[in-house]
Chains A and B, each alone.
Chain A
Amino acid sequence: MTSARVPAGGAVGQGASSEVREEARGAPPELQSTPGSRSRPHRKPAAPFKEPRYLHAVVIALSCLPFVWGALALASDVFRGTNYLTAEPVTEIEHYTGKWILRFLALTLSITPAIAITRLGWLIRYRRTFGLFAFSYACVHFLLYLTLDLELYFSEIWEDISERAYITIGFTALVLLIPLVVTSTKAAIRRMGAKRWKALHRLVYVSSVLGIIHFWMSVKRDLTSPILFSLLFATLLGWRAVRAMRARSA
């Protein structure tokens, strides 16, 4: 095990426990949460919890799991006659992927508040990761709807998208994510300038709200799940609203 790289600010403000902390940094990720390794960031902002080396890869792998499970379950239900996705697997896989879109959107929206609270700046890369996963699941969701649900009946597809409000809303939510994906690179941020880039990426709020409305409208009667998701998004967007108001009055 090589010794830890100590970040520039690492030595500042450390008390007697600095040795313990340095040791812990060099340890594998699962040991880093031992007492003493995690300083309280709001008191000691200069000694933040470092990003575990393989965390990003692990997060990406975990984020693929719902897709893998869904694909295997669907294949099994279709070809082997199992009922992993109920007796109506096509409908179920649509609901399943739809909920994962919302979960990844919520994760995306939770990164900024998480950074503000924990001051762990390295979390920022996960915003893009989760955002791209949200879009990926949205594409899968839409493609499943086109192929397995509408079975590529093009007359029906256009009728659905243009005339059924909940499909129109869901489709709009997906389309609004496209410019965000296209400009998700660092080069795009440089090209556009941070201000314009930020303004454009506020579209994710619109897309999220449309996604939630789409969810509400797709439910027949039991609104438990839409209500819970709505509360989650209300919290995430509400936090931003409060922050913006404070910034304005300050």
Chain B
Amino acid sequence: MIIRSKSSSDIPSSEITPESVYLNRRNFLKEAGLLGASTAGLLAGLPGCARGEEPGQDQDLKAELTSYEDATSYNNYYEFGTDKEDPKANAQNFKTKPWSVKVEGLVNKPATYQLEDFVKPHKLEERIYRHRCVEAWSMVIPWLGFPMADLIRRVEPTGSAKYIEFTTLLDPKQMPGQRIPILDWPYVEGLRLDEAMHPLTMFVVGMYGKTLPNQNGAPLRHVVPWKYGFKGCKSIVRIRFTDKEPRTAWNVAAPNEYGFYANVNPTVDHPRWSQARERVIGKIRRRETQMFNGYADQVASLYAGMDLRKLY
């Protein structure tokens, strides 16, 4: 955990920007007469779009982008409340500056980075990924970030490191959800090292060409597009390399419902609901969920020989 200095309570301008951007965008959508459930996503003319040679850059997904409004006002981030509208309502004054990230455990170069130094050496790129929640809804989001593998190479894990563990900030003063023991705070997530090294896995600092909004995990989160959304850890303050499988938050809370792997898998149902289909946010009809969320070509080999019914 980091010690945060209690400086002024001023809201830095960088935190205000997304709101105005969002409002402008809304006006634009209204003016264009396209603020409709099925068409809002079509309009995402994104500045500085990376071209599609990158892994996971499916050009077809561009036409399916979730509206910025939905993606930033309807999500789970229990640190800011359990309703999906809570994160946006309660995260607006969350302080993301200064921010430091501690890298520790089985690495040759453990260090505590200021966020700027953590991100600076890497080239930010945009990746449009499907995002599938374990609750059977989905979005398509243009993330801005860099491959996790680049950072892992930078800090040089030792030969015995098998897993990587991420921890969210613990600060009940700023995160009202943490005052209630709904999960065993702070939120912890983890990946097998080969999953973390996979070119699709990325650290994210922005979305829709903008700084990551607080409610979406600012200032730093990670995204693993073939896993259920809860595998992505938000507001990361610690990255630990380890030889044991991390005890991840949802797995600790309800092990029969949420496994360590949490790969998107339409053939393995949640005990209480089917995972065969998903509701696309912004659309009414469901659609079929794809194996590994449509990334099977690229990631299925990671799980060769594993019983995905048991290791869900």
Contact = CB atoms under 8 A, between A and B. Distances in A.
A86 interface: yes
Contact of B135 (A90, A220, A222): A220
Contacts of A81: 35-40, 282
A159 B273 CA distance: 10
B37 A164 contact: no
A221 interface: yes
Contact of B272 (A77, A151, A164, A221): A164
A164 B284 contact: no
A80 interface: yes
A151 B35 contact: no
Nearest to B38: A81
A4 interface: no
Contacts of B84: 86-88
B193 interface: no
Contact of B37 (A77, A165, A217, A222): A77
Contacts of B38: 81
A159 to B, nearest CB: 8
B74 interface: yes
A89 interface: yes
A170 B253 CA distance: 25
Contacts of A160: 274
Given A81-B35, A86-B85, A221 B137 contact: no
A221 B37 contact: no
Given A81-B37, A221-B182, A222-B182, A91 B279 contact: yes
Nearest to A89: B284
B74 A86 contact: yes
A86 B88 CA distance: 13
A235 interface: no
Interface in A205-227: 217-218, 220-222
A118 to B, nearest CB: 37
Contacts of A135: none
Interface in A141-155: 148, 151
Interface residues of B, number: 32
A51 interface: no
Contacts of A78: 37, 284
B40 A221 contact: no
A151 B73 contact: no
Mostly, the A contact residues are helix
B256 interface: no
B74 A88 contact: yes
Contact of A218 (B183, B272, B274, B286): B272
B276 interface: yes
Contacts of B298: none
A221 B78 contact: yes
B82 A90 contact: no
A133 interface: no
A243 to B, nearest CB: 36
Contact of A148 (B37, B83, B284): B284
B285 interface: yes
Contacts of A87: 70, 73-74, 84, 281-282
Interface in B266-291: 271-274, 276, 279, 281-282, 284-286
Contacts of A151: 285-286
A77 B283 CA distance: 10
Nearest to B269: A164
Contacts of B35: 81
A221 B82 contact: yes
Nearest to B134: A220
Contacts of B182: 221-222
A19 interface: no
Interface string B118-153: 000000000000000001010000000000000000
A102 B239 CA distance: 45
B276 A156 contact: yes
Given A81-B36, A81-B40, A91-B137, 5 more contacts: A81-B35, A87-B282, A91-B279, A151-B286, A164-B272
Interface of A: 77-81, 83, 86-91, 148, 151, 156, 159-160, 164-166, 217-218, 220-222
Interface of B: 35-40, 69-70, 73-74, 78, 82-85, 135, 137, 182-183, 253-254, 271-274, 276, 279, 281-282, 284-286
15 contacts: A78-B284, A79-B37, A81-B35, A81-B36, A81-B40, A86-B84, A86-B85, A87-B74, A88-B137, A88-B279, A90-B279, A91-B279, A160-B274, A221-B82, A222-B83
